[in-house]
Structure 1
Amino acid sequence: MMNTEMKENGEIERERREDQEKYEDGDGDHQLEGSKRLQPWTKQITVRGIFASVILGCIYSIIAMKLNLTTGMTPNMNVSAALLAFVFMRTWTKMLQKSGISAVPFTRHENTMIQTCSVACYSIAIGGGYGSYLLGLNKKTYELAGGASSPGTYKEPGVGWMMGYSFLVCFIGLFVLIPLRKVLIVDYKLIFPSGMATGVLINGFHSQGDDMAKKQVKGFAKYFSASFLWGFFQWFFTGKEGDCGFAQFPTFGLKAWKNMFYFDFSMTYVGTGMICPHIVNLSLLFGAVVSWGIMWPLIGQKKGDWFPRGLPESSMKSLNGYKAFISIALILGDGLYNFIKILYITSRSVHGRIKTKNLNPVVETKISEEEQKQNEIFTRETIPMSIGGTGYVIFAIIAVIALPYMFPEVKWYYVIIAYIFAPSLAFCNAYGAGLTDFNMAYNYGKIGLFMMAALAGKKDGVVAGMAGCGLVKSVVSVSCILMHDLKTGQLTLTSPRTMLLSQAIGTAIGCIVSPLSFFLFYKAFDIGNPDGEYKAPYAIIYRNLAILGVQGFSALPKHCLQLCYGFFAFAVAINMIKDVVPKRIGKWMPLPICMAVPFLVGGYFAIDMCIGSFVVFIWHRINAKEAEPMVPAVASGLICGEGMWTLPASVLALAKINPPICMKFLSS
């Protein structure tokens, strides 16, 4: 009898090993077989995965920082990160196998872990304030915004304090929604569209076979190389001055070039346009035509009437003031409408669920077997609620002590007030993002900015407002990104513990890499120059928001308030029309928040992005089946190639090595 039991146990163990091997080999059909056979979460996080995450996180941080400091427009690169992680790891394992070195198979769990880690890393570069509220504290932005209106209120960037600030305000967001993860994802069944799309994509990568994977790798490598070499070639013609090279090519004539309408041959923005929806790119172009094509030439003719003649163009009391404040009006109008709309959707949905539960608590919606297994794995490996509560309290206490030391204008009780309200704001934002895919963190950040500016008063309000903005925005943003990643993990059957730890590792890497990548640009290029390449438009926007919060409408130039009212109403009206008219018409309504960016920056990058959009449109017309999987690979190659050239270009600039040729176009 003992021999029979041993034989049965041996067969069971052999079957278990075979099933595990099948799963680890990435067999797509096996992905939902028997949840008890899946890898333990400790094996889903690997050393090579962390190494790959660091590399990808650094690449994307540099790319995101460049986008932040040039136009402020950064697309959602989650899908691109998932694809690049797949390409990177598949290439690595294939190379090792060809060299005769055995490698552990690359699974969807590891793919999800790398994607989560690298996205968490570059998200700090996008949402950490390096191109907006932190940069808005520096002396150059202070002078551009009219230093006399807020005397002495500036703080120069520094690697040390920026790194410390990022660690203080970003990590706390990881803990705030941990107790509600099951409620949001399993109980409320929120879809979190970006997280779901990434999860479906990763599952597709590991079940579609090697042919498409090889094609994507080749496509990425080809366009990465072309973009990198094109960036290298362009560098030789950029000279020492800021208006040399292909980036200043007067494509539509010199008059259009002076009004910021030209194709600047940026593969980064062509690739970005390929990823962004068509309506985003068309909204950018529409905003450029309205502002630089119509409004600024007309307002410029009012020099000496609406604003004095002798003022420099960068002054907030000249044409630049209209550019900054009208773009702020568009952003606030669009943001306020969507903020109220999503709060309404959230409250109505929560109220409906509570009402339904109270009326008929025994009713359960039927779910598929696949979804049952996803939910089982998601809820089985619990994250203790004590981790969320303890982590939040500890980081809040550290912030209460450290932030007033870093920014004397921010009192300790301001921090306590911010962190009392932050959890409820984070829940509202995550719930709204789960329904609509809108991460409204920047709007909650503006609430924090105005609240802090009002509390601090006229003397300290500008600095306190911008520093306090990050307190609220970071908690709300990081917690929402974590929910998106947990949704991805649910679909790929990756443990929630893996997702939380991956997000923490990525956040830690981002808090180190982002300040370093910022200073790479800050020391090598003229950041914040309104006439240069690196305009950093959101720095001046956030600075002026803080001044508005302290001084009110007295900060605006002549007739600017009336124009701001008009564009604020326009942003609200466009959103209302979009929601009222049929979807087939509403989808062509411009997005006011996208229109706002070229008001400050110009139309050149909108033309680049529209070209990317046009390429995708034609590709889908010619061969939609090929375009669907290949567009992300080609776009990622274009973005990453030129983005990687930024690194040697920065090093050359720091070493005072100038390009040998200045290619310039002059009127005959």
Structure 2
Amino acid sequence: MEHVDDWTQDGISTERAYEGEPIPSLSETITPRSLMVSLILGTTLSVVAMEVSLNSGILPSLSAPAGLLGFFFSHAWIRILDFFKVSHMPFTRQENTVVQTCIIACCAITYSGGFGTYILAMGKNAAGGDARDRSNIVEPSLRRLIPFLFLISFAGLVIVMPFKKVMIIRHQLTFPSGIATGHLINSFHNPSGASQARKQVKMFFGSFGGTIIWSFFQWFYTAGRGCGFETFPIFGLKAYALGYYFDFSMSNIGIGMICPHMITISMFVGNLLWWLVLCLSHTSNNGAWYAVNLKVDFLRDITSYKVFIGVAMMITDGLFNFLCILSRTLWVMSKPCKQPIQGCIDNKAQSSWSLSCTNREHVAKCFDDRRRAQVFMRDQIPNLVNICYYVLISIVSTIGIPFLYPQLRSYHIALIYISIPLCAFCNAYGMGITDINLASSYGKLTMGIFGSWVGLNNGGLIIELVACGVMVGAVSNGADLMQDLKTGYITLTSPHVVFVSKMIGTSLGCIISPMVFWIIYGCNTGNKNILEVPYAKVYRSIAMLTTGENVLAEDTKRVCWIFSVFALVLNVLREVAKRKQWRVVSCIPSTVGIAVAFFVPERIFIDMLVGCLLTFVWKRTNTNMAQMYLLALASGLICGDGLGSLMSSVLTLLHAQAPMCIKFLSHIDNMKLDGFLKTLPTL
């Protein structure tokens, strides 16, 4: 047994530290404590995710904050029980995994539910000048959204379960985010990890509380239209009129701190490209590329060029990545299994294991693999049960969705559900290799197929958007489940437990997300438009393009083709630079980042640039502290701003009036105001 001790010391075996602990059962892992913590944090982070996705269209990963907050709140619950001397079960890493899985499943509905994409793309605000076609307009309704989400959100979960052994055990796919979250949870449950987690939580709540206080402080100065610090013209009033100003959005600053710096820089490059090149060309082509003195029409004025150029670049980027990941997936699947790893996993292949594990570090990893594989293969749900559930969900959805959206026919939905198993498998497999969820690409591909099939008449746009929603809801949730199964594999959590946790969290999300959306959407009344929703018009535009109808300004398609080629060249250059390991690869702008700049307001990437700059300075001055606290600080900013925005929305719904107004005027306007105030009688 001496060599076992050596493995623990030199071989960095994780599971040796937990070898004496029994694996908790389903009832010991999914507890009232874990469900209550999941409900509280799932609701809070859903508010944050909804606010961010509606206004910026960029949703950062919430896996790490979910695991961190789940650990903290569960420990706080235990301390309260200890204070009142109430007996309780210990908080294990398996229960931490359950909490994290439920929270992420609940928050994921804000993305797969399409609130910032295809749901609002059906409404009249996204339609613009095309809003006269009533057959292609469906306004959001809470009574329609909740049943629709329940119909589309569970098919992907049950259909990918039969593939879990192939992806995680046989092919040993990495699922980088899942494995990182698993190691994070493992680190929380040892003494040093718990101490570090408490420090990170302290930083999180410090920034969280400060951001909420700042949100309330801002609200007190918004008594009238155009009032408040959100309209601070830091670059001057002329730049402010063009949309360039700093609005003190803590969530966007936090996003800029989390997102890779090249994404933020690429957004700046995209905006610069638009203003320095295209606007000059449009000014010289006034009356040629679009009609002079044309009333605002989303499809035929200058806006069509800006929006559809971004759409063309995003479609090109999505297709390029889709083909790259598909080819890479097929290549990996064609390779034989790695015999040394399989030998370490197989209990019967002792000779193979002893021969392949020739050094201590490899021996430790082999022990971890064997231990994790043993737990992973327990409590299996029969594949036949999953297939039967999928068939049942397909039948119910095929019957139910046409009642919610009468433009569709049952055979439309049936054809989608026939193709979902293949798409869900390919997306989950590709995500395991690249950590990229391409559910939106599958949704856009579905829109293209249905657009060329049904056309524009008789509600063709609604058919496309709903078909996109059905595909995205299934494919996205299926890939997320496989990511969570990888986390469960690392933390020795049974796949059965992870699956049940995912079902519970998804059910909560199907209720919580629509309600949060409805509260925010209810404030979008009158002249106060608080929803940016940049991607709603993107999806509406894609639906229009795929119908084949000639509804755009005359030269839009030609300009879009030029930028599609530009996006393709950029993607090919980046791929070649990665393969050749060129140093310039870190300087190549992101195609998606450039495309996003054509949709989002200028103030958003200005906020992100501030966050990016703060991160750069912090890492330069104190690298260790930045690595330890950066994620906690940024998450606190995002969560605090999201919760503060929701509270402001509730105050608006309650017709509460801010007591003061702060406004920034030019020198001439300020002199006029002073002259007017002098004419008023003094009290």
Q: Normalising to structure 2: TM-score of the pair?
A: 0.88
Q: Shift of the alpha carbon at 1:594?
A: 2.0
Choose from 265, 287, 293 the match for 1:304.
287
Q: Say whether 1:33 aligns with 2:19.
A: yes
Write the distance in 1 (CA, Å) between the matches of 2:257 and 2:271: 19
Write the distance in 1 (CA, Å) between the matches of 2:380 and 2:289: 63
Write the distance in 2 (CA, Å) between the matches of 1:55 and 1:277: 30
Q: Give % identity.
A: 37
Post-superposition Cα deviations, 1:154-180, rounded to whole Å, max 9, x if no partner, equal: 112110111111000111111111111
Choose from 24, 33, 57 the match for 1:72.
57
Greater Cα shift, 87-96 or 445-454: 87-96
Maintained 8 Å contact 1:455/1:461: no
Q: Shift of the alpha carbon at 1:639?
A: 1.1
Q: Shift of the alpha carbon at 1:609?
A: 1.6
Q: Say whether 1:335 aligns with 2:332.
A: no
Maintained 8 Å contact 2:176/2:435: yes
Q: One-letter code of the match for 1:551?
A: G
- Classify 1:456/1:103 alpha carbon distance in 2 versus 1 (closer, same or farther; 3 Å): same
Maintained 8 Å contact 1:32/1:370: no
- Where do 5+ consecutive residues of structure 2 fail to align? 1-12, 358-364, 668-683
Number of the residue aligned with 2:362: none
Write the distance in 2 (CA, Å) between the matches of 1:484 and 1:406: 31
Q: Say whether 1:94 aligns with 2:79.
A: yes
Q: Say whether 1:165 aligns with 2:148.
A: yes
Q: Say whether 1:567 aligns with 2:531.
A: no
Choose from 557, 574, 577 the match for 1:578.
574
SS of equivalent residue, structure 2 residue 118: coil
Q: Shift of the alpha carbon at 1:602?
A: 2.3
Write the distance in 2 (CA, Å) between the matches of 1:604 and 1:388: 47
Greater Cα shift, 298-307 or 205-214: 298-307
- Classify 1:252/1:99 alpha carbon distance in 2 versus 1 (closer, same or farther; 3 Å): farther
Choose from 392, 405, 413 the match for 1:415.
413
Q: Normalising to structure 1: TM-score of the pair?
A: 0.90
SS of equivalent residue, structure 1 residue 152: helix
Q: Say whether 1:326 aligns with 2:292.
A: no
Choose from 511, 533, 538 the match for 2:535.
538
Superposition map of 1:56-71 within 5 A:
56-71=41-56
Q: Shift of the alpha carbon at 1:138?
A: 1.4
Q: Shift of the alpha carbon at 1:293?
A: 5.3
Maintained 8 Å contact 1:259/1:292: no
Greater Cα shift, 324-333 or 658-667: 658-667
Write the distance in 1 (CA, Å) between the matches of 2:288 and 2:413: 45
Maintained 8 Å contact 2:14/2:368: no
- Classify 1:619/1:97 alpha carbon distance in 2 versus 1 (closer, same or farther; 3 Å): farther
Choose from 222, 231, 236 the match for 2:215.
231
Maintained 8 Å contact 1:324/1:600: yes
- Classify 1:297/1:666 alpha carbon distance in 2 versus 1 (closer, same or farther; 3 Å): farther
Write the distance in 2 (CA, Å) between the matches of 1:523 and 1:314: 25
SS of equivalent residue, structure 2 residue 380: coil
Greater Cα shift, 262-271 or 312-321: 312-321
Write the distance in 1 (CA, Å) between the matches of 2:48 and 2:665: 32
Choose from 273, 276, 279 the match for 2:262.
279
- Classify 1:299/1:572 alpha carbon distance in 2 versus 1 (closer, same or farther; 3 Å): same
Number of the residue aligned with 2:479: 480
Greater Cα shift, 224-233 or 625-634: 625-634
Post-superposition Cα deviations, 1:257-313, rounded to whole Å, max 9, x if no partner, equal: 222222211111111222212222222222222224553465256443322233344
- Classify 1:377/1:444 alpha carbon distance in 2 versus 1 (closer, same or farther; 3 Å): same
Post-superposition Cα deviations, 1:350-383, rounded to whole Å, max 9, x if no partner, equal: 12238999xx999997661111111111112212
Post-superposition Cα deviations, 1:183-222, rounded to whole Å, max 9, x if no partner, equal: 0011000000111111111111222244323312221111
Maintained 8 Å contact 1:280/1:591: yes
Maintained 8 Å contact 1:526/1:534: no
Write the distance in 2 (CA, Å) between the matches of 1:263 and 1:664: 14
Q: Say whether 1:146 aligns with 2:130.
A: yes
Number of the residue aligned with 1:51: 36
Maintained 8 Å contact 2:39/2:103: yes
Q: One-letter code of the match for 2:535?
A: Y
Post-superposition Cα deviations, 1:507-559, rounded to whole Å, max 9, x if no partner, equal: 000000111111111111259x9x9442211111111211112134x122132
Greater Cα shift, 99-108 or 606-615: 99-108
Post-superposition Cα deviations, 1:94-139, rounded to whole Å, max 9, x if no partner, equal: 3433454444332211111111101111110122111111111112
Q: Say whether 1:351 aligns with 2:338.
A: no
Write the distance in 1 (CA, Å) between the matches of 2:91 and 2:165: 28
Write the distance in 2 (CA, Å) between the matches of 1:355 and 1:454: 44
Greater Cα shift, 116-125 or 458-467: 458-467
Number of the residue aligned with 1:20: none
- Classify 1:526/1:435 alpha carbon distance in 2 versus 1 (closer, same or farther; 3 Å): farther
Q: One-letter code of the match for 1:566?
A: I
- Classify 1:437/1:91 alpha carbon distance in 2 versus 1 (closer, same or farther; 3 Å): same
Write the distance in 2 (CA, Å) between the matches of 1:453 and 1:209: 52
Number of the residue aligned with 2:388: 390
Write the distance in 1 (CA, Å) between the matches of 2:607 and 2:83: 41
SS of equivalent residue, structure 1 residue 307: coil
Choose from 135, 139, 159 the match for 2:120.
135
Number of the residue aligned with 1:204: 187
Write the distance in 2 (CA, Å) between the matches of 1:294 and 1:163: 45
Q: Say whether 1:114 aligns with 2:113.
A: no
